[in-house]
Structure 1
């Protein structure tokens, strides 16, 4: 199958959209398919530029502009030219909002079946940053999302909560498709790795229970909730990631450790050094870092809202806190703290890994190929 992927985000940016696109490309290559990527480019003077190829597939960069530390690709007619030359069987549009809209329009014009991936709860982010006009702008954002996804032959949502949101806002032709996880990279056995042991000795010199967070350090992640954990004795908070909230968090979380951006085995060792994984955002359509933590054998404490509802089983793989109840995050973390809770943490962590170990990216891409085939079939019927 020939797949054209139009994505709102790509390397060198690291986020959930980029990760899922890269993993899909790697699995498509391994399964013998052909692909092309259209993505926002970086400026020639950027320290790290968008690659020209990934997983052996060409990457076509379009002109982009910076918006709040993100690269936003500008729509142009060159997309039609690139697609016409490649002649894909299907178009995969990752988290369409600006560049992806142009991709969907081009697909319609060229008669290409399209699958749109709903991945970012943009209305909630817009509401958060719009002050008194938040509800009004969020409703406008949902109208825009509905207009975007009406152009797609199929829209895939990563969780039951996201699927319900799309249905509630009359987005047509929807189905659920989750995310894969690298259960070989993120593995409990890494706890015995010398590098992990050295990291843990540095982070917990007095045997503290390490509470770990991985992700972007930005307002939409609602990391202010972590302040509650400063009141939990015998713990130390460790954050992996970077973003515009770094300085504010350093000031409000005395004693916390900031490990910065980590990738690959360095990231896997960070997970392995943690005792408990904590997640704070209530606007997640999925929660990929929750899956990674589970694969690493960690109990997870996350909000009882959005994507985590599908990923955390209360009392079995971790716990869910009420984001509207101050102090509930700390209350749910406290039973997992201390040497006396080691057995409980291990039991929950092993149960969490059992839940995700079969969700490999190759398996998820097999499901994605089925969705592609469905979109192609339905498109053929609609034009027959």
Structure 2
């Protein structure tokens, strides 16, 4: 199979979109398929896993490159002659790729990955939000199929009038993120340090430190006895979060990756997520894979990932006191933490990236078969 991936984000920019694209490319390479990547020019590598990466002109917006539609996109797609176009979180660049694929008779799959409604609420965009959803509908209705990462996202897209929808989640690295990591020297030493020799429960957040993550809610945890707070990540809200948590027992570990990130998860006793704009919630899966109970808002993607009372708690995002109560319950009950952590690990055992990406290959074949059937159906036929 030949797959053209057009993405609004790619290396060296690291975020959820880039991570998912890289995992799909890894799977395509491992399964012997062929692929290309089209992405905004931002210092990307010329190849990834042997697949060529085509960079197109971009402008910077809030430190992120935004691809500018241009004629070379259609030429790149036409030369490659893909069996399917994969549009990752399509916006301006992705919309052009989808339109070019349609003109060339190539089926396309669009991956929805941005909480437009949440962004609009946070920035008080008002009527602009309606315009944004009309843009989302215009972009995604051009694709043969749009894949939403959660039931909440699916409902948002349905309300916006987007057609041809299906669910497709995200995978998790079950080997890298594992409860056994707690026994590794690095993780064990870090937990010993953070927990003051085992006296405190270590409660941690992992992710971008940015306004949309709602980290100001962590201030509600001030004064919980026997708790040490950890923040893993960096971003534009770093200074304000440090200010809000000043005086609390808190450690900022900065941005981590690879084995260091896995050890950071393993050093925690409880994972807490505060943002309400997650279309999925990849860090929640990584925490569950690491054997941790998760506390997250009852909003967006976490609703699908957290079994309330089973492998964690969902709190009312309008009530910071509810967040505090849920975290305090886990801090004071080690047995509950262990039971929920085991349940979280079991919940993700069927969500390896191989499994999730095999599902995606099935979607590629489905849209290809549908497009072929449409070409065979005579004009005006009701068959």
SS of residue matched to 1:327: helix
Q: Give the alignment's Cα RMSD to 1 decimal.
A: 1.2
Residue number in structure 2 paired with 1:202: 193
Q: Which position in structure 2 is the counterpart of 1:12?
A: 12
Counterpart-to-counterpart distance in 1, 2:295 and 2:181: 21
Query: Does structure 1 conserve the Cα–Cα contact (< 8 Å) formed by 2:118 and 2:276?
Result: no
Deviation at 1:162, TM superposition (A): 0.9
Report the equivalent of 2:277. Answer: 283
Could you tell me which of 241, 246, 269 is aligned with 2:233?
Answer: 241
CA distance in 2, matches of 1:222, 1:26: 32
Q: Is the 8 A contact 1:124 1:138 kept in 2?
A: no
1:33 aligns with 2:25: no
Report if the CA contact (8 A) 2:84-2:107 is conserved.
yes
Instruction: Give distance in 1, aligned partners of 2:356 and 2:67.
Output: 27
Q: How far apart are residue 240 of structure 1 and its match?
A: 1.0
Deviating more after overlay: 361-370 vs 372-381: 372-381
1:126 CA displacement: 3.1
Residues of 2 paired with 1:230 and 1:62: CA distance?
47
TM-score w.r.t. the length of structure 1 is 0.95
State how far apart, in whole Å, the 2-side matches of 1:80 and 1:372 are.
20
Match of 2:362 in 1: 370
Shift of 1:97: 1.2
Partner of 1:3: 3
Q: Which whole-Å deviations, capped at 9, do the CAs of 1:312-371 have from their partners, x for residues lacking one?
A: 011110000001123110011111114xx2221111101100010121111111110111
CA distance in 1 between counterparts of 2:191 and 2:110 reads: 41
Structure 2 CA distance for aligned equivalents of residues 248 and 68 of structure 1: 18
Matched residue of 1:217: which SS? coil
Q: Tell whether the 8 Å contact from 2:206 to 2:232 is kept in structure 1 after alignment.
A: yes
Partner of 1:347: 339
**Structure 1: which 5+ residue stretches go unaligned?**
43-48
Structure 1 residue 201: deviation in Å?
2.6
Residue 71 (structure 1) aligns with: 65
1:213 equivalenced with 2:208 (yes/no):
no
Aligned counterpart, 1:302? 296
Moved over 4 A (4+): none
Q: How many positions carry a matched residue from both structures?
A: 373
Matches within 5 A, 1:263-282: 263-282=257-276
SS at match of 2:135: helix
TM-score (ref. length: structure 2): 0.95
Gaps of 5+ in 2: 377-383
Q: Which deviates the most, 372-381 or 113-122?
A: 372-381
Q: CA deviation at 1:219?
A: 0.5
Deviation readout 1:91-121 (Å, 9 max, x if unpaired): 0000011211111111112221100000111
291-300 vs 106-115, greater mean Cα deviation: 106-115
Contact 2:2–2:82 (Cα < 8 Å) also in 1: yes
CA contact (8 A) 1:127 1:137 kept: no
* Partner-residue secondary structure (3-state), 1:13: coil
Q: CA deviation at 1:141?
A: 0.6
Structure 1: how far apart are the matches of 2:116 and 2:66?
Answer: 14
Offset at residue 152 of structure 1 (A):
0.2
Deviation at 1:204, TM superposition (A): 2.3
For the Cα contact (< 8 Å) 2:171–2:352, is it kept in 1? yes
CA deviation profile, 1:8-65 (whole Å, cap 9, x unmatched): 11111111111111111111111111111111121xxxxxx31111122111111222
1:132-151 alignment, distance < 5 Å:
134-151=125-142
The offset of 1:212, in angstroms, is 0.8
1:36-75 matches, cutoff 5 A: 36-42=36-42, 49-75=43-69
Matched, 1:316 2:310: yes
Structure 2 residue 178 is the aligned partner of structure 1 residue 187? yes
